[in-house]
Chains A and B, each alone.
Chain A
Amino acid sequence: MQIPYEVEARPDTGLYNAKLGIWLFLASEVMLFGGLFSAYIFLRIGAEPGLWPHQILELGPAFANTMVLIISSVTMVMGWASAKLGEYKKFKIFTGITVLCALAFVGIKSYEYHGDFNRYGVILADKTQVTGELVKDKTNDRQITLIPDAKQSTELGREYLKKQGEGAEKSGEEQELAFDRKDVVWFSNFVPSYSTFFSVYFTMTGLHALHVIGGAVVIFYLWGPGSRMYFTDRKHFVNRLEVAGLFWHFVELVWIFLFPVLYLL
């Protein structure tokens, strides 16, 4: 038994089955990320004034990741086109680059997460938030000591730092700030439970990273063991590449939305 239109397009719809399938799947993915983005909007609108951070995350790695994904999208198309034109070697090179880009993305993302886990913040009873590097030997069960970041991400944090700076003598050393544990309502490194912003950030980028890994596995399979089909049933194989590519572009598109929303706004 052969399922019709597995490889050839059905004349009246102009689609082969898998292409329709992936578009439907992507529609549901849009709704999945749509749910998360609307959660972001909902939580941000409902956040207490002055508490939602602006540009608390480092821009460098995220910008690099954006570039990496854009390049990988281009090479994905090139790989598909090469396979379609019958240029096997070029297909191997381009698709290989796509997989490497995916790995690079996951690597950079992990580095970024690692950096986040090493930054700390305190939130005081009046919702003032100060972030910075933890001074471990001056932090105990009575006080918390931070070297505050020069650029604070909230209005209240900037004001607090300014006030502290006016009182203190300017010295060559980096300024250290000690907080009494009694005044502090929240203290931790940047983990999902730190604040609603970081909840959103880790959940969305984490889910996106899982998509990147999933896509990379599929593309790697098509680059490696799956590419045997190129010689036995090329049309089918090119279709598979196209479907994988559609998914890959979607994953990239999600990042194009995530980047400004989480890093710039």
Chain B
Amino acid sequence: MNANVEKALETHGEGHHEHGHDHHELSFWRKYVFSTDHKMIGIQYGITALLFLLFGFSLMGLMRWQLAYPDTTIPFFGKILTAVLGEHMAPKGVMSADLYNSFGAMHGTIMVFLGIVPLGFAAFGNFVMPLQVGAPDMAFPRLNMASYWSYLAGGIVMLISFVVPGGAAKSGWTSYPPLAGIADVGPNIHIIFNGQTLWIIGMVLLISSSLLGSVNVIATVVQLRAKGMTWMRLPFFVWAQFVTAFLLLLAFPPLEAAGVMQLMDRVAGTSFFMPSGLVVNGQGWHGSGGGSPLLWQHLFWFLGHPEVYVMILPGLGIVAEVLANNARKPLWGYRSMVWAVLVLGFLSFLVWAHHMYLTGMDTKVSAFFQTTTIIISVPSVIILTCLIISLYGGSIRFNTPMLFAIAFLPMFGIGGLTGIPLAFNATDVPLHDTYYIIGHFHYVVAPGTLFALFAGVYFWYPKATGRMMSEFWGHVHFWPTFILMNCIFMPMFLQGFAGVHRRWYSGGIVNGDALFEVTQHVLHWNTFMSWASWLLAVAQIPFILNFFLAWKYGHKSGDNPWHATTLDWQTPTPPPHGNFTVQPEVYRGPYEYSVPGYPEDYLPQDKKLDQKEAK
């Protein structure tokens, strides 16, 4: 539509239902598929990301069979694997080493880039953030749509890579060269349609998607805040999204550069990451050499570490919202949390080489990165402490979102504290690449971030659909998930201390004996952890059913079921195109719960008080 006409319509519509005048029924395709509405895009992102999470999780479920019962046929799923992926990948339903490597690499890639980040940053960022700042939509709605479709394309490319000859990428989610450079090359393997090359292409699409998303989020927060929504009145969730967007904007491009270089290595035969004198299968590798595998590690971890905060910050934001709302108290130390999150974002660019202590770096360099790594724990602890103190003296409502949010605190705490030994290179060297690392970062991401995201799903579900998810099935989902997550990840610390390596196919057992005797006494945990992971899958069934059934059969929620103060709850439910029926104006901070003297226990940000009430 011509911009002048649009403007005329707007003037005409002033004071009325604002979106009412250009409200013509959109076709099914424009409304649900090629939508430019931030709420629909948020829901698209959310459902796609949840599906990818389920898929990535099931890859691990299959790998855990190989760890618990090495070299035996996988019941039921074994046949499917053989049928889909071929006899050489899963001979007689047994997981081959190549398949194990490929599932491991793709589990990491899918969980991080197609699951957690799209759910935390893109889905919640899209759906909730514009509502919370009082914007009618994102600043660039069409770029927003392009972002989702680019993400989906990247996801589909990753999925296709499973069925090409040679199978999906198998050099770890980090794709370290020279291993990744020589992987998936051979007489029957296509130069483009092979696992590793498709991985790079998929990543480039995902990076483009996150670039569009992050520009959009920053522009929306800066430009589209409602009247009176000053920076220090922004809900903490918005701050978390804002910093996350900057991390994505600035940290991802170096990986894109690295991806282009690895693509050149694989397709054009360059040697960016291929060193001189490389020997593959007893023969000299044909290439000019002179490249540097370390260069990839630097570029990868320059993204890789901020990426950790990209995963955790939206989670922290969600937990802050849910905690304040259900403790019926203002967040304790809101300002210090805001400054902490800004410092966290800045410092996250200066710690990447703590992933590389084993590369033989100079002691001066490693001293620098050890120092920054320890410094970065300060703002994280500030945020977590503020969240815990916020609970003190509150009259807490233990609904499902709150359960997940409260469980997040100790789980994320364990994840964070177990990271401290990894920050120092003396203790990192023996723990590096063991199950200790796996346990550490899974505590941060799985019972940490993922719990926060579950809290977010339960919390904002009524705003998106107008119906509540079942509290009973929410509890049935929460308790087993909480217990089983710990059953999976806690033994990993034991195994890691004993020296069980993270990439051992067959769980450290060869022909019935431990590969290394020192690990003998902890290998029996493999079976326990595997059963816990399969039961965890069963424990997600209530959530899946709850999620889809409540859409139709849940209790009607009304506009503000949680009695929340932020602007996202002061809209009709579900919010119409354009979000607000009247242009919102903000008069106070985001967490005015239990204001003394005010009759209700919550005071919305946009509620205008008359003279008498204000006193």
Contacts and interface: CB of A to CB of B under 8 A. Distances in A.
Interface string A1-42: 111111100100101011011001101110111111011001
Given A27-B250, A232-B3, A43 B19 contact: no
Interface string A204-216: 0001000000000
A11 B291 CA distance: 51
Contacts of A21: 139-140, 143, 215-216, 219
B249 A24 contact: yes
A186 interface: yes
A35 B4 contact: no
A122 B18 CA distance: 72
Interface string B228-258: 0000000000000000000001111111111
A192 interface: yes
A236 interface: yes
Interface residues of B, number: 56
A42 B292 contact: yes
A46 interface: yes
Nearest to A42: B295
B264 A192 contact: yes
A34 B223 CA distance: 28
Closest 10 CB pairs of A and B: A35-B257, A35-B254, A193-B269, A199-B270, A32-B253, A31-B253, A1-B578, A196-B290, A192-B268, A17-B139
Nearest to B287: A193
Given A5-B223, A7-B3, A199-B270, A194 B253 contact: no
Contact of B272 (A18, A194, A196): A196
B264 A196 contact: no
A43 B3 contact: no
A48 B2 contact: no
A37 to B, nearest CB: 9
A169 interface: no
A118 interface: no
Contacts of A35: 253-258, 299, 302
B218 A24 contact: yes
A35 B268 CA distance: 20
A3 B261 contact: no
B272 A193 contact: no
Contacts, number: 162
Contact of B261 (A2, A31, A39, A186): A39
Nearest to B230: A12
A186 B291 CA distance: 15
A36 B261 CA distance: 9
A47 interface: yes
A1 B137 contact: yes
A207 B260 CA distance: 9
A198 B215 CA distance: 33
Interface string A185-204: 01000011111101110110
B610 interface: no
A51 interface: yes
Interface string B572-592: 000001100000000000000
A233 B2 contact: yes
Nearest to B7: A2
A1 B9 CA distance: 9
B513 interface: no
A2 B10 contact: yes
B292 A20 contact: no
Measured as residues with beta carbon below 8 angstroms from the partner, the interface class of chain A is 35 or more
A227 B140 CA distance: 21
A193 B261 contact: no
B211 interface: yes
Contacts of B249: 24, 27-28, 31
Interface in B207-230: 211, 214-216, 218-219, 222-224
A199 B271 CA distance: 7
Given A21-B219, A35-B256, A35-B257, A28 B137 contact: no
Contacts of B295: 39, 42-43
A32 B254 contact: yes
B211 A193 contact: no
Interface in B322-370: none
A23 to B, nearest CB: 9
Interface string B17-32: 0110010000000000
Nearest to A188: B288
A147 B162 CA distance: 50
A177 B292 CA distance: 33
A48 B276 contact: yes
B120 interface: no
15 contacts: A1-B136, A3-B136, A6-B3, A21-B143, A29-B253, A31-B249, A32-B257, A35-B257, A42-B294, A51-B290, A186-B288, A193-B288, A194-B288, A232-B3, A233-B3
A29 B257 CA distance: 10
B250 A43 contact: no
B298 interface: yes
B78 interface: no
Contacts of B291: 43, 196, 199
A80 B178 CA distance: 48
Nearest to B256: A32
B87 interface: no
A43 B257 CA distance: 14
A17 B139 CA distance: 7
B18 A1 contact: yes
A39 B264 CA distance: 14
Contacts of B215: 21, 24-25, 28
B581 to A, nearest CB: 12
A43 B224 contact: no
B471 interface: no
A32 to B, nearest CB: 4
Contacts of A2: 6-7, 10, 136
A196 B271 contact: yes
B567 to A, nearest CB: 15
Nearest to A196: B290
Nearest to B258: A35
A32 B250 CA distance: 9
B250 A203 contact: no
Interface in B1-54: 2-4, 6-7, 10, 18-19, 22
Given A34-B254, A42-B295, A203 B261 contact: yes
A39 B224 contact: no
A50 B98 CA distance: 41
- Among A5, A24, A29, max chain B CB count under 10 A is at A24
Given A20-B219, A28-B211, A1 B22 contact: yes
A28 B292 contact: no
Contacts of A186: 288
Contacts of B251: 31
B22 to A, nearest CB: 7
Contacts of B276: 48
A1 B223 contact: no
B141 interface: yes
B270 A203 contact: yes
Contacts of B578: 1
Interface string B118-140: 00000000000000000111011
Contacts of B214: 24, 28
Contacts of B264: 192, 199, 202-203
Nearest to A52: B290
- Among B140, B141, B260, max chain A CB count under 10 A is at B260
Contacts of A17: 139-140, 219, 223-224
